[in-house]
Amino acid sequence: MTSSPDVIVIGAGVLGLCTAAELASRGHAVTVIDPGGANASSVAAGMLAPALECLSDKAGPERVALLTRARDLWPEFATRHGLTLHQDGAEWRDPDAGAAIARLTASGFSARPVPGGLFTPDDWRVEVGPALLALSRVAGVTAARATVARVAATAGRWRVEAADGRAWFPSTIVLATGAAPPVPGLPDRIAGPVAAIEPFRGQLTPVAGRGPAHTVRAPGLYVVPTPTGWVAGATMEGGRRDLEPDIEVSYRQVAAAEALSGLVGTPGEPRVGIRGGTADGLPLAGVSGEPGLHLALAPLRNGWLLGPMVAGIVADGIEGRAPGPDAAALDPLRFSSPAA
In the prediction, which pLDDT does 176 show? 98
281/330 Cα distance (integer angstroms)? 10
In the prediction, which pLDDT does 340 show? 37
The letter for the amino acid at 257 is A
The letter for the amino acid at 71 is R
Q: Are strands 141-145 and 30-34 parallel, antiparallel or unpaired?
A: parallel
Residue 87, CA atoms < 13 Å, CB-side half-sphere: 7
Domain ranges for the chain: 2-41+132-197+279-330
Which residues, in sequence order, are CB contacts of 58 under 8 Å at separation 6+?
Answer: none
Among 8, 268, 12, residue whose Cα is nearest residue 157: 8
Q: What CA–CA distances, in Å, run from 30 to 41, 44, 149, 171, 294?
A: 20, 25, 19, 11, 14
- List the chain pLDDT tens, one digit each, 340 residues: 555 679 999 999 999 999 999 999 999 999 999 999 999 999 999 999 999 998 876 678 999 999 999 999 999 999 999 999 999 999 999 888 999 999 999 999 999 999 999 999 999 999 999 999 999 999 999 999 999 999 999 888 999 999 999 999 999 999 999 999 999 999 999 999 999 999 999 999 999 999 999 999 999 999 999 999 999 998 999 999 999 999 999 999 999 999 999 999 999 999 999 999 999 999 999 999 999 999 999 999 999 999 999 999 999 999 999 999 999 999 999 998 654 3
Is the preceding peptide bond at 70 cis, omega within 30 degrees of 0? no
Residue 151, CA atoms < 13 Å, CB-side half-sphere: 26
In the prediction, which pLDDT does 339 show? 47
Q: What is the CATH number of domain 2-41+132-197+279-330?
A: 3.50.50.60
Centre a 10 Å sphere on the Cβ of residue 319 and count the other Cβ atoms it contains. Answer: 12
292/317 Cα distance (integer angstroms)? 10
189/245 Cα distance (integer angstroms)? 35
In the prediction, which pLDDT does 200 show? 97
Instruction: List the 47-48 sheet strands across, edge first.
Output: 47-48, 124-126, 85-86
Virtual CA dihedral for 151, 152, 154, 160, nearest 10 degrees? Answer: -10
Q: What stretch of H or E contains 85? A: strand 85-86
The letter for the amino acid at 296 is A
In the prediction, which pLDDT does 110 show? 98
Among 65, 75, 81, 79, residue whose Cα is nearest residue 19: 81
